[in-house]
Structure formats: C-alpha cells, structure tokens
Amino acid sequence: MRHIISAVVENKPGVLAHIAGLFAGRGFNIDSLAVGETEDPTRSRMTVVVKGDDAVLEQVRKQLGKIIDVIKVQDFSDEEYVERDLTLIKVGVRPEKRGEIFEVVEVFRGKVVDIGPKHLTLEISGPEKKIEAFIDLMKPYGIREVVRTGRVAIARGE
C-alpha cells in the first residue's frame, strides 16, 4: 500500500538525513520526499511517500514520533487530503508543432515557462495521475528532461 507521511520537524541540520535513514534502515524505498519550511521558520514539514506493508510502516511511524527533532507525524492513508506534485518537462519540438502542445498545456492548466529554438519547457502541477497523463501525452513530441518536486500533501478540513 502507498503511504503519504507528513512530519513536522525542527528546522536544523541533520534531521532530514536521520529520518531518511530510518526509512532506509527498515527497507523502505522512498518514492517521493519533499521538505520545506512551514509558517514557523524554526520548523520544516517533510512529506514522504513510501510503499509497504501497513504493519511495518506503522512501526516506522511510531519510531518517527520518538525522534527528539520530530514534533508531529501524520499518515494520510486513512484521511482525506489534498496532494500536489510540481513537474517541469523539457520537450524537443519543431515550431510548427508548438500550437498542439500549447493546447494540451492549456487543457491541463499548465504553463509554458521557457521557449527556445528547438524546445519548450512546461510546468504542470497536480495529483500524480494528472502528471503521469500529461507526461504520456508529451512522449510523442520527444521529452528531453523531466524534473519533479516530489509530492506534498495537507489534510482536508480543520
């Protein structure tokens, strides 16, 4: 099962490595990891996406809660949440095909963020399925490079 775990942590050196090491030490491959400062500059929020056995992951979540630099841990598996991923895609494209790409970008509510003589750089954000569908549509044009931020998530409601 896929788990999205959010941890509010102290914003100081070494915390990211410590937490990533905890997952690695338990045999979990991190599918996505995003870290950023919160509304409080002394704290960061880490969003970790992993796939694995529910019981084992519950143990990891509990161990996270015992780390002194971890303030709060939340597993979104049983909650309603909003998630987003930001992706930049560089597509090699001839000028006569650009109109087609502009239309697809508009449908997906993306942006063209850079135009070169032989490429376009596109920005798309949203849930993972939307990103994957957009990437699939861009493949015939010749994807040169894809850069993804990793998933971020927040619980719905109060």
pLDDT tens column, 25-76: 877 888 889 999 999 999 999 999 888 778 877 888 888 888 889 999 998 8
Q: What is the pLDDT of residue 71?
A: 94
In this chain, the answer to whether the domains covering 2-79 and 83-155 adopt an identical fold is yes
Whole-model pTM over 0.75: yes
The 10 Å CB-count burial string (b at 16+, else e) for 45-77 is bbbbbbebeeeebeebbebbeebebbbebbbbe
- For 2-79, CATH number out of 3.90.1150.10, 1.10.287.3510, 3.30.70.260, 3.30.300.30 equals 3.30.70.260
Q: Give the chain as a DSSP string.
A: -EEEEEEEEE-STTHHHHHHHHHHHTTPPEEEEEEEE-SSTTEEEEEEEEE--HHHHHHHHHHHHHSTTEEEEEEGGGS-EEEEEEEEEEEE--GGGHHHHHHHHHHTT-EEEEE-SSEEEEEEEE-HHHHHHHHHHHGGG-EEEEEE---EEEES--
Domain ranges (residues) in the chain: 2-79, 83-155
Average pLDDT, the chain: 90
Q: Is the confidence at residue 150, as pLDDT, over 90?
A: no
Q: What is the pLDDT of residue 24?
A: 83
Q: What is the pLDDT of residue 79?
A: 84
Q: What is the pLDDT of residue 53?
A: 78
Find the angle CA(102)-CA(104)-CA(106) to the nearest 5 degrees. Answer: 70
- For 83-155, CATH number out of 3.40.50.880, 2.20.28.160, 3.60.20.10, 3.30.70.1150 equals 3.30.70.1150
If one compares 158 and 78, the residue with the highest pLDDT of the two is 78
